[in-house]
Amino acid sequence: MENSHGVNRSKAFHKGDPPVKPKFPVRGVHDNNPTPKTLYNLIIDQLKFIDVCLDKTKFNAAVKLWPNRAYCNPPFSNKKLFILRAVASNARGNEILLYLPFDPTTSWFRTLYQQNALIMIFMKRMGHAKFPHALYHLKNYSETKIMLLQDEHDVLKFLR
């Protein structure tokens, strides 16, 4: 069908045009996005958590139980596996900290909520994230608590 300018709208592209990039990211494209540097330094250097996802050749966090004071920013496309590993490690008495998007509509969020996590939601964009992010702290709390954080340093108020 041609419009008033004689352009055929039924064919969006001409032969030889480069392929169009997909509108949504390909599965796994954000898997290696790092934790924002300031937050990461607070978690590792000041709070003394151990990054279990730092080097999978030394420690495979997807299959092994995590040590006490373990920290993980799981791969975006495979969050559920790492969350289940975190819950299993916490069930053995280990303190766990996860950095994930804040999305209460997901089954993985409900899993963490049911574990009586301390959920610390950042009230600003973290790094290049398009969605709000939060820290999920598993430490044998008697009930789920949700806190709003102005910036990364507010984490120190709750995790010292």
Encode the chain (160 residues) as per-residue pLDDT tens digits: 444 444 444 444 455 655 544 443 444 445 567 899 999 999 999 999 999 999 888 999 999 999 999 999 998 888 999 999 999 999 999 999 999 999 999 999 999 999 999 999 999 988 878 889 999 999 999 999 999 999 999 999 999 8
CA distance 132 to 39: 14
Position 35 scores a pLDDT of 92
Position 131 scores a pLDDT of 86
CA distance 62 to 84: 9
